[in-house]
């Protein structure tokens, strides 16, 4: 069994999945022009194996104007996404730089998963 959950952190505040378009817009406005941290917890239970890990990735957004933010929110891609964006989709256009594991930002910290449970990937 594999469990993963992801949040976005900025200035001590946690941003989960926005409840609606207004909250998505407010979240993205807060992230605009700044670096935030994407934090994922991963847990593996396989037979007697029980391991957990935390992955952290820095993501810096471009400075975004209201029109850009509103256009992105209008796509609906923010739904069910921690921090209100999907880096693997149109949300990539919001990003100026990334420091760390891209796959963590997508929602599955592959490097940490392999580190804590390499035996799951042996043929």
Task: Write out the DSSP string of 37-58.
Answer: EEEEEEEEEETTEEEEEEEEEE
Up-side HSE of residue 87: CA atoms within 13 Å toward CB?
A: 22
- Give a yes or no: residue 58 inside a domain: yes
Note down pLDDT in tens along the chain; length 123 residues: 999 999 999 999 999 999 999 999 999 999 999 999 999 999 999 888 899 999 999 999 999 999 999 999 999 999 999 999 999 999 999 999 999 999 999 999 999 999 999 888 876
Domain limits for position 103:
2-117
Active site residue 48: no
Gap between the Cα atoms of 12 and 64, Å rounded: 22
Q: What's the CATH code of the domain at 23?
A: 3.90.950.10
User: How many structural domains comprise the chain?
Assistant: 1
Annotated active-site residue in 5, 19, 48, 80: 5
């Amino acid at each position: 069994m594999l469990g993963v959950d992801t949040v976005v952190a900025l200035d001590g505040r946690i941003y989960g999945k926005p409840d609606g378009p207004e909250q998505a817009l407010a979240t993205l406005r807060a992230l605009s022009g700044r670096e935030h941290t994407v934090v994922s917890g991963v847990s593996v239970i396989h037979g007697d194996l029980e391991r957990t890990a935390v992955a952290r990735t820095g993501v810096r957004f471009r400075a975004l104007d209201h029109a850009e933010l509103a256009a992105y929110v209008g796509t609906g891609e923010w739904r069910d996404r921690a921090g209100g964006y999907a880096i693997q989709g149109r949300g990539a256009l919001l990003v100026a730089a990334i420091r760390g594991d891209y796959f963590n930002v997508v929602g599955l910290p592959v490097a940490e998963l392999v580190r804590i449970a390499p035996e799951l990937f042996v043929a």
